[in-house]
């Protein structure tokens, strides 16, 4: 009886503190939303950087509260990616900015990771260096300090036995004439470092890729989705072909051609399959042609 009374008393004692933290998180969310709107207005690049820096600082204040890890962000989540890993080990706060007359995209990301031993949270910042890897990005091993930036919308845990490797699906607005879809791999290294680009994407006769990058015309929408059943796990996507005769090797003229390819997960690797027939797989009957972004 005394134990039950103690638990009830403790609950009502702690509840005001938890509610107070949630109120502070909501206040900071509104502040962050205002700052991001300001940063994305058509101003000088210097002003954009200043507002974006203020936005990031507000995010960090918000992430100082443990409740941020599980909180549902009604407004902020419509402006940036706030997705959580399915295994509950981390959450990302991931956003983009458009700079200059050519609307070149720059990406930012804060990873909120829970230490399984202490229960404490650490914040890992990612630094976008995608401009440094314009020609060989699919074969580069990268880190949180040198990240191929994009906006992530899906996290796929892949069990590698003694560790978990995450596959990420992302979108990149790139520039005025083209977009990109990206399949990335990520794992935690030591306590507060990230490794990107595990060699996991295999195709017959080709060098194993560390990430997969699709570039296509600004006028098109490309589908890139994760599908999982009891029997198999796949990443299925629109096959890209030239939409202009004679421009087969020019990325900005590539677009979906109504056929589909996939990567299927086998023994911890993603193996390429050409011409996936949706009619033979019930799980692809209706939804996979809709874009995630």
Q: Write the pLDDT tens digit of every residue in 22-36.
A: 999 999 999 999 999
Q: Residue 60: which pLDDT band, with cuts at 50, 70 and 90?
A: very high
**C-alpha separations of 3 from 8, 12, 13, 15, 61 in Å:** 9, 15, 15, 18, 37
What was the pLDDT predicted at 104?
85
Cα–Cα distance measured from residue 16 to residue 22, given in angstroms and rounded to the nearest whole number: 10
Q: Residue 260: which pLDDT band, with cuts at 50, 70 and 90?
A: very high
pLDDT beyond 50 at 289: no
Closest CA to 188 of 255, 260, 115: 115
DSSP letter assigned to residue 247: -
What was the pLDDT predicted at 214?
97
- Angle CA 72–83–22, to nearest 5: 25
What was the pLDDT predicted at 55?
98
Closest CA to 236 of 186, 280, 279, 274: 274
Share the mean pLDDT of the chain. 88
Global pTM exceeds 0.85: yes
**C-alpha separations of 204 from 38, 207, 209, 260, 271 in Å:** 48, 8, 12, 17, 9
Cα–Cα distance measured from residue 290 to residue 227, given in angstroms and rounded to the nearest whole number: 13
What was the pLDDT predicted at 287?
34
Q: Residue 4: which pLDDT band, with cuts at 50, 70 and 90?
A: very low
pLDDT beyond 50 at 80: yes
pLDDT beyond 60 at 129: yes
pLDDT average, residue stretch 204-217: 95
The maximal CA–CA distance of the chain, rounded, in angstroms, is 82
Please name the helix (run of DSSP H) or strand (run of DSSP E) that holds residue 196, with its range, or none: strand 193-196
Q: Tokens for 100?
A: 């200059």
Q: Residue 283: which pLDDT band, with cuts at 50, 70 and 90?
A: very low
What was the pLDDT predicted at 14?
45
β-partners of residue 152 are 170
Cα–Cα distance measured from residue 282 to residue 20, given in angstroms and rounded to the nearest whole number: 48
Q: Residue 70: which pLDDT band, with cuts at 50, 70 and 90?
A: very high
pLDDT beyond 60 at 278: no
Task: Please check whether residue 57 is in contact with residue 43, taking contact to mean a CB–CB distance below 8 angstroms.
Answer: no
Q: Tokens for 221?
A: 């929408």
Q: Coil, strand or helix: which one is 264?
A: strand
Q: Tokens for 52?
A: 């974006």
Task: Please check whether residue 68 is in contact with residue 112, taking contact to mean a CB–CB distance below 8 angstroms.
Answer: yes
Q: Are strands 269-273 and 201-202 parallel, antiparallel or unpaired?
A: parallel
């Amino acid at each position: 009886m005394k134990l039950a009374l103690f638990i009830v008393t403790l609950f009502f004692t702690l509840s005001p503190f938890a509610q107070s933290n949630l109120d502070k998180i909501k206040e900071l969310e509104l502040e962050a939303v205002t700052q991001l709107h300001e940063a994305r207005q058509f101003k000088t690049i210097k002003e954009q950087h200043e507002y974006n820096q203020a936005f990031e600082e507000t995010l960090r204040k918000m992430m100082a509260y443990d409740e941020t890890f599980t909180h549902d962000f009604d407004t902020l989540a419509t402006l940036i990616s706030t997705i959580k890993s399915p295994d509950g080990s981390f959450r990302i706060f991931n956003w983009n900015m458009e700079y200059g007359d050519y609307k070149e995209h720059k990406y930012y990301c804060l990873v909120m990771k829970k230490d399984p031993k202490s229960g404490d949270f650490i914040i890992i910042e990612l630094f976008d260096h995608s401009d440094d890897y314009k020609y060989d990005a699919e074969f580069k091993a990268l880190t949180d300090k040198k990240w191929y930036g994009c906006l992530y919308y899906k996290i796929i845990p892949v069990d590698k036995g003694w560790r978990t490797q995450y596959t990420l699906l992302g979108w990149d607005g790139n520039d005025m004439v083209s977009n990109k879809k990206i399949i990335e791999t990520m794992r935690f290294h030591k306590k507060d470092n990230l490794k990107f680009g595990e060699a996991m994407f295999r195709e017959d006769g080709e060098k194993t890729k560390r990430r997969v990058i699709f570039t296509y015309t600004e006028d098109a929408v490309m589908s890139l989705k994760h599908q999982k059943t009891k029997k198999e796990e796949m990443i299925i996507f629109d096959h890209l072909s030239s939409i202009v005769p004679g421009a087969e090797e020019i990325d900005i003229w590539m677009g979906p051609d109504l056929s589909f390819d996939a990567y299927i997960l086998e023994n911890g690797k993603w193996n390429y399959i050409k011409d996936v027939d949706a009619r033979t797989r019930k799980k692809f009957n209706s939804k996979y042609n809709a874009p995630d972004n």
